[in-house]
Structure 1
Amino acid sequence: MFVESAVRWAALGVLLQAGLQASAESCPPRCVCPDEATEVICSGKHLNTIPEGFSGDARRLDLSYNKIRTVGRRQFSGLPQLQELDLSENLISMIEVDAFQGLQNLRTLRIKNNRLKIIPVGVFSGLSGLRFLDLSQNEILVFLDYTFKEMVNLQTLEADENDLVFISQRAFVGLQSLQELNIDRSNLTSIPTEALSQLQSLMRLRMLRLTISTLPNNAFRRLHRLQTLIMVSWPTLDTMASNSLIGLNLTALVISNCNLSAVPYSALRHLVHLRFLDLSYNPITVIQSNLLGDLLRLQELHLVGGNLLRIEPGAFRGLTYFRMLNVSSNHLTTLEESTLHSVGNLQVLRLDGNPLACDCRLLWVVRRRLRLNFGGHQPTCSTPDTVRQREFRDFSEKELPRLFTCRPTRILDRRPQEARVEEGATVLFSCKADGDPAPSFTWISSHKTKVSSTGRIRVLPNGTLEVRYAQVHDSGTYQCLASNAAGNDSLTVGLYVKAVAQNRTIPFFTEEDWLEPLVPQATNSSAETAKPYPFDAKTLIIATTMGFLSFLSSVAICFVFMFFWSQSKGQIKHTATIDFVPRSSMGGGGDGGDGGRFTMKLI
């Protein structure tokens, strides 16, 4: 029995030693292979080349943070089970064609932060099962045609922070399953429309830090499945064509940190499925009324850090699903209740960071301070002085009617204003009013139309009506309407313009009008006063000289023309013979004398 036990222990030791030797052989030097060699970790081992001796059962290989410079042809052909390969944070500048052949089960490939400048066509050959590819933080200049043509199952492509200047029209051919594409911080100066149109399954497109100034029409055509479009930090983008986003069915759109001075209403009107809109950090000054109504499903609008001065009444009219408005860090003094379609639907309101005037216009917000979500940032009053720096949550219900008040508008000078002028005159009608908040002024013309702030008849910033170059048809009554949130007041003025007869006689000059004035003669002279010539001697000499030079020029041109014409005729005759018959000396017929002939030499 003792002998049998010894034999068993010896056999077990041999098997254990063989297993350890096999395990050591399947894990390259300086690498760690936990989990029965299905995972090989060689990260940060100062490797200059890709080691050998991997187990054929390996499913994950991490070669990141080394000094590898080249990936050779069929470098990983002995790893048919590999599903994840990480080559990030190396010095790779060259990947040979067919480098990844044999990795038919590979799902994730990371080549982030290397020194690739170009990817030859065929590098990704054999990666038909790949789902995720990270090429970010390289130095890639161009994507060539058919670079990704065999990657039919790729879903995510990270290509941000490269030196891309051009994406070929057929670069993305084959990416029929791609759902997410990120192109950030590149040198592209225009949208690669043709290349993107190959990605008809794309759902999310992110483009950050580009130097594109204009978004043209049909910039994203054929991307019918795109749901999220992110354009951030385009400092020169100031124009979006009216059909730039046509054909898209977006649910989320971000255009922030750009140079848009107005909400791009015409470009947005097609996005009837849009739910999330972010226009933050653009120099937008106003959200106009009744221009967002086409965004039927809009739920959130973010416009943080802009130059917003006002949001006009009815700005969100028709948006029945509107839930969140974030306009923090702007220059708003108020937000009137009439801006929203239904106040009861609003759930989140961010007004912090604005110089709010706490008067009757904001009373509706303060009364909902317990139900509204301010995103953890309470709005704060800036004016009047009695409530300066107080947060909305600090007000009690009893003091609201006393503090949040407005003073109705009142016209200050109600004396009749009437102007009777002739055509062409300029007329000014003043309209001064006070109130709290400060009233706005609207003028209604004699034709019952609203007068704008531009044109021949216009309203000046101080509320004065200016009529320039008055015409007869401008006559009539004009009404000034001064209004604020507490009420309005009006003033009527009269303008009467008289027609002026026009003198349409055409000026007529006689000969004397062109003559120089006569020099007075002496009183003791008996000679008759002579009329001077119309032109003096100097003028006559100049005119004669100019005419003579013109004549000589014409003659010279004729001679030159005749010379070249004669040279182009082949055989040239230098003499001409002319026959003639002299006429009768008495003026009768031409038969009274003998004929004659003479010869003329041609030059």
Structure 2
Amino acid sequence: MFVGIAVHERLCWGALYLLAAGLVLTSETRRPCPHSCRCNTSVLELNCSYGQLTTVPDGLPQDTKLLNLTHNIIKTLVRQQFQTLTHLLDLDLSDNILVIIEVEAFFGLQSLLTLRLARNHLKIIPVGAFAGLTKLQLLDISDNKILVFLDFTFRDLAALQFIKAAENDLVFISHQAFTGLTSLQELHLDACNLTAVPTEALTQLSGLRSLHFHQLGLNSLPNYSFRHLARLKELFISHCPWLETLSGNSLFGLNLTSLTIIHCNLSDVPYIPLHHLVYLVYLDLSFNPITYIHGILLGDLLRLQELHLVGGSLLRIELGAFKGLARFRLLNVSRNLLTTLETGVFHSVDTLESLGLDNNPLACDCRLLWVVHRRLYLDFGGYPPTCTTSAQLQGWDFLDFSEAELPALLTCRQPRILNRQPQEVRVDQGHTVVFYCNTEGDPLPSVTWLNPQLRPLSPIGRIRVLSNGSLEVRYAQPQDSGKYLCVASNAAGNDSVPVSLHVRRFPSSSKNPFRLKSWFAFPSASPGVNGPQKLPFDVKTLLIAATIGFTSFFSSVSVCFIFMLFWSKSKGQIKHTATIAYVPRSTMSSNGGTGNSTETSRFTMKLI
């Protein structure tokens, strides 16, 4: 028993000895925690924030890995300020009053991975300030007053992957400013005073994968703005209120998978700049005054899966708008002016997984039946669409309707053309004719006019469709004669009615009119029923035209002669003769080219 007690005492004394020895060794290898700092030895962190420090404290433990110097009043970083902290991984100097960073201020931080200098008063970063940071991966210099990035500012940061330079006063970025950033993956140039894309500077970043612009003074994206950025996958542009257009080749050379242009002033989807982005998966054009998504024009974006257009001015998404997008799975068009969304806009509704349609003035009719039928397979993000323009269903969530209620509630009425009496108009050549096509139906039918060749007519041209659905034929020509067809269509079907037009030629004054068959045939503005017509000319018309032409020519020549007469009189005395002296060739030959005497001859000319 006593032997056991003795052994136990020896073990206790040994443990105490080892603990004391460890404390002695630790105190010898690690310096005490500096004043105004808090040390966490378990993670080797030194927290000196809110310490009212004016300079970096001396005597920092050499094995420190995390150093927090935020919320102090440090104004200057001198050369080789941190040279003893060779193991430091993270340095945070945010929220100070830094104005000056000397060259090689961070020299010796050979292990540093993260450097934060946000919310200071820096106006310029001298070349060489980041010397020695061979392993730095993240640099945050946002919310300073930096005016310019000089050439080779970041040349020592070969391992840098992320730069945050938002909220600065940048007005210029030198062409070689980003030289040396061979590993850079993400660049934020937000809320600066740049008025143009720094294209030349960006060409140095061949490995860049994500580029962010925010609150810049851009009014357009010129052609080839991002050339040589073949690896860029994500482009984010936001809060540029003057950005109205994207030039046709502004995105040329990019292979983007994600494009965001939000809170700008685009009035139309930039179809031409987008068409070559065949790898695009995500497209966000929210908070732009875009009114229409036209049919078919997005068909080149074969891999597109998501389209966001929230808070715009969308009035209509045309049929076939997403035709060809077989992988399309998310559409968010909340907070717009849409009255409906027809199933025909999609390539296939079977692939659709998410639909944002809330806060639109929806008319709940048969065009939205497909949404109700697929409600179990669609994610509405917690905001299901509601009826707003239907008096019967005002404010109702139509996704709650039962299958038995749907046929009676979500209905459409087939269009009907009201004025069905035969319209046959006969007019003389040169007159203007208007055909009316009044319709009714629910939803309101769209009106299309077909010409005698059954081709749709457009709202422009001499023969055009007016905004009220009428057809106008201006300065009618014989070749315009034929039957035109008015077609009224909506989701419930269509209706049509034909009209006839006969245009009489100008009466001829000769029984045998002369026709110019080959080289005097003029194409008409709109082809007629019987093909191109030839213009007739009689003898009287030709004589009158020839007389008018000869009279005009003779008058012009007479005026020219009279003008020349008065001009010559204004030149004063005119000599009517001229005497010319010359040496005959035979005389020169007989003299052999020698002698001084030369026989000359003269003759006199009379000037007329």
- Scaled to the shorter chain, the TM-score interval is 0.7 to 0.9
- Counterpart residue number, 1:92: 98
- For the residues of structure 1 that align with 2:20 and 2:382, how far apart are their CA atoms? 67
- Counterpart residue number, 2:61: 55
Instruction: Deviation per CA, 1:376-426: give whole Å up to 9, x if none.
Output: 101101132111111023211101001111110111011122222223221
28 and 22 in structure 1: CA distance in 2 versus 1, 3 angstrom threshold: farther
Which range moved further: 153-162 or 194-203? 194-203
- Counterpart residue number, 1:378: 384
1:453 shift after superposition? 1.1
Correspondence 1:17-28 to 2 at 5 A = 25-28=31-34
- For the residues of structure 2 that align with 1:119 and 1:14, how far apart are their CA atoms? 48
Residue identity in the other structure for 1:241: S
- For the residues of structure 2 that align with 1:15 and 1:324, how far apart are their CA atoms? 62
1:176 maps to 2:182: yes
- For the residues of structure 1 that align with 2:166 and 2:299, how far apart are their CA atoms? 36
Residue identity in the other structure for 2:173: I
1:16 shift after superposition? 5.7
Correspondence 1:199-598 to 2 at 5 A = 199-500=205-506, 505=545
SS at match of 2:268: coil
- Asked if the contact 1:457–1:467 (Cα under 8 Å) also holds between the matched residues in 2, the reply is yes
Correspondence 1:3-152 to 2 at 5 A = 25-35=31-41, 38-152=44-158
1:15 shift after superposition? 8.8
Residue identity in the other structure for 2:474: R
67 and 548 in structure 1: CA distance in 2 versus 1, 3 angstrom threshold: same
117 and 387 in structure 1: CA distance in 2 versus 1, 3 angstrom threshold: same
- For the residues of structure 2 that align with 1:367 and 1:38, how far apart are their CA atoms? 60
- Asked if the contact 1:369–1:392 (Cα under 8 Å) also holds between the matched residues in 2, the reply is no
- Asked if the contact 1:304–1:327 (Cα under 8 Å) also holds between the matched residues in 2, the reply is yes
- Asked if the contact 1:62–1:85 (Cα under 8 Å) also holds between the matched residues in 2, the reply is yes
Which range moved further: 122-131 or 444-453? 444-453
- For the residues of structure 1 that align with 2:306 and 2:25, how far apart are their CA atoms? 65
1:37 shift after superposition? 8.7
Which range moved further: 13-22 or 277-286? 13-22
1:257 shift after superposition? 0.9
Instruction: Deviation per CA, 1:298-322: give whole Å up to 9, x if none.
Output: 1111111111111111111111111
- Counterpart residue number, 1:589: none
Residue identity in the other structure for 1:457: I
- Asked if the contact 1:155–1:178 (Cα under 8 Å) also holds between the matched residues in 2, the reply is yes
1:471 shift after superposition? 2.3
- Asked if the contact 1:65–1:89 (Cα under 8 Å) also holds between the matched residues in 2, the reply is yes
508 and 89 in structure 1: CA distance in 2 versus 1, 3 angstrom threshold: closer
Instruction: Deviation per CA, 1:524-564: give whole Å up to 9, x if none.
Output: xxxxxxxxxxxxxxxxxxx9xx9999769x99xxxxxxxxx
333 and 57 in structure 1: CA distance in 2 versus 1, 3 angstrom threshold: same
SS at match of 1:477: strand
- For the residues of structure 2 that align with 1:36 and 1:433, how far apart are their CA atoms? 81
SS at match of 1:75: coil
Residue identity in the other structure for 2:204: Q
1:499 shift after superposition? 3.0
- For the residues of structure 2 that align with 1:174 and 1:548, how far apart are their CA atoms? 78
Aligned positions, number: 518
1:21 shift after superposition? 8.6
SS at match of 1:393: helix
1:17 shift after superposition? 7.9
- For the residues of structure 2 that align with 1:9 and 1:356, how far apart are their CA atoms? 80
- For the residues of structure 2 that align with 1:324 and 1:509, how far apart are their CA atoms? 74
Residue identity in the other structure for 1:238: E
Instruction: Deviation per CA, 1:543-593: give whole Å up to 9, x if none.
Output: 9xx9999769x99xxxxxxxxxxxxxxxxxxxxxxxxxxxxxxxxxxxxxx
Instruction: Deviation per CA, 1:304-344: give whole Å up to 9, x if none.
Output: 11111111111111111111111111111111111111111
Which protein has the larger Cα radius of gyration, Structure 1 or Structure 2? 1
- For the residues of structure 1 that align with 2:18 and 2:235, how far apart are their CA atoms? 66
- For the residues of structure 2 that align with 1:100 and 1:466, how far apart are their CA atoms? 78
1:507 shift after superposition? 6.1
1:489 shift after superposition? 0.9
- For the residues of structure 2 that align with 1:443 and 1:469, how far apart are their CA atoms? 18
SS at match of 1:237: coil
- Asked if the contact 1:98–1:126 (Cα under 8 Å) also holds between the matched residues in 2, the reply is yes
- Asked if the contact 1:26–1:37 (Cα under 8 Å) also holds between the matched residues in 2, the reply is no
1:12 shift after superposition? 8.7
57 and 21 in structure 1: CA distance in 2 versus 1, 3 angstrom threshold: closer
284 and 9 in structure 1: CA distance in 2 versus 1, 3 angstrom threshold: closer
- Counterpart residue number, 1:598: none
SS at match of 1:162: coil
SS at match of 2:211: strand
SS at match of 2:392: helix
Runs (5+) with no aligned partner, structure 1: 511-542, 556-603
Residue identity in the other structure for 1:324: L
- For the residues of structure 2 that align with 1:377 and 1:550, how far apart are their CA atoms? 92
Instruction: Deviation per CA, 1:162-217: give whole Å up to 9, x if none.
Output: 11111111111111101111110011111111111211111111111111111112
- For the residues of structure 2 that align with 1:549 and 1:171, how far apart are their CA atoms? 75
- For the residues of structure 2 that align with 1:355 and 1:436, how far apart are their CA atoms? 16
1:449 shift after superposition? 2.1
494 and 242 in structure 1: CA distance in 2 versus 1, 3 angstrom threshold: same
- For the residues of structure 1 that align with 2:291 and 2:94, how far apart are their CA atoms? 45
- For the residues of structure 1 that align with 2:271 and 2:550, how far apart are their CA atoms? 62
Which range moved further: 484-493 or 472-481? 472-481
Residue identity in the other structure for 1:57: D
1:36 shift after superposition? 6.2
- For the residues of structure 2 that align with 1:509 and 1:199, how far apart are their CA atoms? 73
- Asked if the contact 1:37–1:57 (Cα under 8 Å) also holds between the matched residues in 2, the reply is no
113 and 496 in structure 1: CA distance in 2 versus 1, 3 angstrom threshold: same
- For the residues of structure 2 that align with 1:224 and 1:373, how far apart are their CA atoms? 35
1:20 shift after superposition? 5.7
Q: What's the RMSD between the two structures over aligned residues?
A: 3.0
- For the residues of structure 1 that align with 2:257 and 2:334, how far apart are their CA atoms? 23
SS at match of 1:195: helix
- Asked if the contact 1:27–1:37 (Cα under 8 Å) also holds between the matched residues in 2, the reply is no
TM-score by length of 2: 0.80
TM-score by length of 1: 0.81
Residue identity in the other structure for 1:331: L
